[in-house]
């Protein structure tokens, strides 16, 4: 097993300009960066599409949803934790606790039609299509106040409409950071890793 971390634009690893190229009306760069990282691993012989699983959470869960639509053939599985997969609906609601402060990162679709159209063009929920998807595990929490559980729930429902092999796991007493307590957190992570191993064909 190999574990690779993709530093996509939107992070600060390569400086301020790199960060600026991954937000607002250049948000799509974060998705294509991730696909490019997968392509590099495949080209260099570290992985094959049949033996590659992607993982991300929260805004990284949006990345997972976008990649599932953009390049489903690159991955055997996609693990999306508390995924922000219906961003347009949430960012249009200023009554939610994070919406207004997040306009600096995503733009304000209430005030700018260009932002609205751009967000709609990459929103995972809005762009589910009738094509083969990799196996998908969506993890959410009933008491998550940052990414409401309804986002992954409706995304999963939409994926199931097009026949995607998707599993939804909802923690009933957890928040955005997952379950509380060391052993509970280990148990949750063990579930995720067991799913990854199953996707990759490790059955013993």
- Point out the catalytic residue in the list 33, 81, 86, 144: 144
Asked about 58 being catalytic, the answer comes back as yes
Confirm whether 176 is a catalytic residue. yes
Active site residue 7: no
Over the Cα atoms of the chain, what is R_g?
A: 17
In angstroms, rounded to a whole number, what is the distance separating the alpha carbons of residues 152 and 105?
21
Residue from 39, 112, 176, 184 carrying the catalytic annotation: 176
H or E stretch covering 54 = strand 53-57
Tokens for 48? 């094959």
Single out the residue of 116, 98, 59 nearest to residue 82, CA to CA: 59
CA distances from 118 to 109, 110, 122 (A): 9, 12, 7
Which element (helix H / strand E) includes 104? helix 99-106
Largest CA distance in the chain: 54
User: So which residues are the catalytic ones?
Assistant: 58, 144, 176
């Amino acid at each position: 097993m190999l574990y690779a971390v993709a530093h996509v634009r939107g992070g600060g690893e390569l400086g301020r300009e790199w960060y600026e190229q991954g937000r607002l009306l250049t948000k799509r760069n974060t998705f294509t960066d991730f696909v490019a990282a997968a392509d590099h691993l495949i080209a260099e012989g570290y992985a094959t599409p049949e033996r590659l699983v992607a993982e991300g959470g929260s805004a990284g869960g949006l990345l997972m949803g976008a990649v599932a639509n953009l390049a489903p053939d690159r991955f055997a599985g996609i693990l999306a934790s508390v995924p922000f997969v219906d961003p347009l609906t949430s960012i249009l609601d200023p009554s939610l606790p994070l919406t207004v402060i997040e306009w600096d990162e995503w733009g304000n679709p209430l005030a700018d039609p260009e932002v609205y159209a751009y967000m709609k063009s990459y929103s995972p929920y809005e762009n589910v299509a009738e094509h083969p998807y990799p196996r998908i595990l969506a993890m959410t929490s009933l008491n998550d106040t940052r990414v409401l559980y309804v986002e992954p729930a409706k995304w999963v429902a939409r994926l199931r409409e097009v026949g995607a092999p998707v599993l939804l796991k909802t923690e009933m007493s957890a928040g955005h950071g997952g379950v509380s307590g060391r052993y509970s957190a280990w148990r949750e992570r063990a579930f995720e890793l067991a799913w990854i191993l199953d996707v990759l064909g490790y059955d013993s």
